[in-house]
């Protein structure tokens, strides 16, 4: 981001943009507006899944209804190509997956929530540097971020106490102010359409009360529904239309001159099988787990990120463990029913700046 354009905030779909990172790649370019009177220079929405070709995205397919969040895709990512472009530079910006590497479950399934883990400047950093007021409604990796009016994404136990914790992590007094005239904001663990509706109401109120120059909003329910029912299912399409209506309300609250961008951190394809890689590791003595599945010890394990898995070797593992793992992966790769598409060596992972510390990746 070498300069600030006059009127545009444009972010193409990619994981670096969704995390709020400034890192520049072929698929991510951004500019922030200078404004003379209040109007949001940018309003950035994120969902947890995107569709490469959505038959429901055109007005004709939607029965003539207005589409607030429709966009036109210019290209689709081909994961059969060796570069695995969607996973480049993960090590550079610091956010490597949903969850941190925690093979023995000591972090209680902790996610990447903390802005301190980001290793590159973010969009809200650039906005503040340009003199814009910033705001956020439960965007990922924003706990502790330098955002003027911040309600971060965060949860732990999934109980009512999470809401108290969210109040502590938000800008002092902000959550109480937003909930004064609206429903109580759900905690970050609620990724249902009801949770999105509450986030959107709070985001509208935040726009009205604080008038930020740049704001990020996270809506999550489509991802959950597509995981359960599949993309383009009736349930997924119904959820998408509800999210689209929420975006319409947010656009109206932001005003006609606001630049709105809708982005996603990953795509979604229909699948008909699951790959249980760690089952093979357990069967070959590479990790040990109790009857509940809790890992007690491990020589090698997998760190999952979407449809990829980074294989890590325990530094205390016996000599030859990496060769054992390599042999197992090659054996699985030869099996057409294993679900493995490709195995990258540790050197190949480093070349594409993939998940750090990987002995292999596939």
Say how far apart CA 146 and CA 142 lie, in whole Å.
8
Is the pLDDT score of 14 beyond 50?
no
Going by pLDDT thresholds of 50, 70 and 90, the confidence category of residue 108 is confident
Contacts of 252 by beta carbon, 8 Å cutoff, 6+ apart: none
Say how far apart CA 240 and CA 263 lie, in whole Å.
14
Residue-wise pLDDT for 178-191, tens only, equals: 999 778 887 668 88
Is the pLDDT score of 8 beyond 90?
no
Say how far apart CA 348 and CA 354 lie, in whole Å.
9
Say how far apart CA 350 and CA 362 lie, in whole Å.
13
Residue-wise pLDDT for 264-319, tens only, equals: 877 788 888 888 899 999 999 999 999 888 899 999 999 988 778 889 999 999 99
Say how far apart CA 193 and CA 220 lie, in whole Å.
8
The CATH topology of domain 15-264 is: Alkaline Phosphatase, subunit A (3.40.720)
Q: What is the pLDDT of residue 46?
A: 67
Residue position matching structure tokens 């790649």: 25
Residue-wise pLDDT for 142-163, tens only, equals: 999 999 999 999 998 888 889 9
* Across 24-33, 234-243, 260-269, least confident range: 24-33
**Helix, strand and coil percent figures for the chain, each rounded to 5:** 30, 15, 55
* Across 11-15, 39-43, 143-147, least confident range: 11-15
Mark 32-66 as b/e (b = at least 16 C-beta within 10 Å).
bbebeeeebbbbbbbbbbbbeebebbeeeebeeee
Say how far apart CA 127 and CA 22 lie, in whole Å.
11
Q: Single out the residue of 292, 356, 284, 266 nearest to residue 320, CA to CA.
A: 284
- pTM for the structure as a whole: 0.78
Q: What residues does CATH 3.40.720 cover in the chain?
A: 15-264
CA contacts within 13 A on the Cβ side of 274 = 4
Residue-wise pLDDT for 42-87, tens only, equals: 677 666 555 544 444 444 444 445 455 544 333 333 333 333 434 4
Is the pLDDT score of 334 beyond 70?
yes
């Amino acid at each position: 981001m070498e300069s600030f354009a006059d009127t545009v905030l444009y972010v193409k779909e990619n994981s670096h943009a969704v995390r709020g990172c400034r890192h520049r790649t072929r698929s991510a370019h951004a500019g922030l507006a200078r404004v003379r009177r209040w109007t949001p220079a940018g309003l950035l929405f994120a969902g947890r899944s995107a569709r490469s070709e959505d038959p429901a995205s055109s007005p004709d397919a939607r029965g003539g209804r207005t589409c607030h969040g429709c966009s036109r895709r210019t290209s689709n990512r081909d994961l059969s190509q060796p570069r695995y472009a969607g996973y480049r530079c993960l090590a550079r910006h610091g956010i490597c997956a949903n969850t941190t590497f925690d093979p023995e479950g000591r972090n209680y399934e902790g996610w990447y929530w903390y802005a301190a883990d980001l290793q590159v400047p973010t969009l809200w950093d650039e906005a503040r540097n340009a003199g814009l007021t910033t705001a956020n409604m439960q965007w990922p990796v924003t706990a502790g971020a330098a955002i003027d009016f911040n309600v971060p994404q965060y949860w732990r136990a999934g109980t009512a106490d999470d809401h108290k914790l969210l109040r502590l992590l938000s800008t002092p007094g902000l959550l109480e102010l937003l909930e004064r005239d609206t429903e109580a904001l759900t905690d970050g663990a609620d990724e249902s359409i009801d949770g999105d509706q509450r986030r959107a109401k709070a985001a509208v109120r935040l726009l009205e009360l604080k008038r930020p120059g740049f704001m990020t909003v996270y809506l999550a329910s489509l991802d959950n529904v597509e995981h359960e029912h599949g993309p383009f299912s009736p349930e997924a399409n119904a959820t998408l239309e509800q999210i689209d209506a929420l975006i319409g309300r947010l656009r109206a609250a932001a005003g006609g001159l606001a630049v709105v961008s809708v982005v996603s951190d990953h795509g979604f394809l229909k699948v008909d099988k699951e790959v249980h890689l760690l089952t093979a590791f357990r069967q070959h003595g590479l990790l040990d787990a109790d009857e509940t599945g809790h890992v007690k010890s491990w020589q090698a394990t997998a760190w999952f990120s979407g449809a990829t898995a980074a294989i890590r070797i325990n530094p205390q593992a016996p000599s030859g463990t990496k060769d054992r793992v390599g042999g197992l992966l090659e054996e699985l790769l030869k099996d057409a029913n294993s679900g493995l598409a490709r195995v990258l060596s540790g050197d190949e992972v480093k070349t594409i700046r993939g998940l750090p510390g990987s002995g292999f990746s596939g």
